[in-house]
Amino acid sequence: MRGLLISASIATSLLFATVSPGQAEGTLLTVSGEIDNTNREAFDPFFDGFLKFHDKTFDKAHSFDWETLAALPQKTIKVNADTEDWPRPLTMEGPLLKDVLATAGATGDSATLYALDGFGFEMDADKMVAHEWILAMKVDGKPLGIGGLGPLWLVYDTGGAKAPEEEERGWVWSVFHIEVE
């Protein structure tokens, strides 16, 4: 039991080690790569422990905490999927992906969104404009938590209709990093 608690403590420390000097406390999302608007220092192997764990380094980045994401215009959508374990249509709320990328001054033609487990979903310009993507911060009015589907969940509005399972696979949950290329 003690070993399990120590492991959980180390994992939690790694997760929150993405806060570095000059960066907003409580960072939920880091956008790096081809961006023009930076608000934090370059990658620091000590303070960016979780990014280091995932082999993510950068010279420039823009970090977002809960407040900066919540200050962007919020979009509320209905999301549903035709998968075995999808419970019902869900109401999700968060900023538009395009607004997050614009805030970071993204100049690239594609972006890869990374989840806490290392999964990466690459979106080219066509995928980005195919839907009005949001980075959901809340589901049914409740903030997404780390250890569940948070901190952020990439989804688009299905209007309550069931999206095919192949589409749902691109709805990255636990998003913490976006690399613009």
Write the pLDDT tens digit of every residue in 70-85: 999 999 999 999 988 8
What average pLDDT does the segment 7-18 reach?
39
Write the pLDDT tens digit of every residue in 19-76: 333 333 589 999 999 999 999 999 999 999 999 999 999 999 999 999 999 999 999 9
Nearest to 88 by CA among 130, 139, 136: 139
Beta strands 110-115; 120-124: pairing state: antiparallel
Q: Are 123 and 113 in contact (CB under 8 A)?
A: yes
Residues 6+ apart with CB under 8 A from 164: 81, 82
What average pLDDT does the segment 6-31 reach?
52
Nearest to 45 by CA among 12, 20, 16: 20
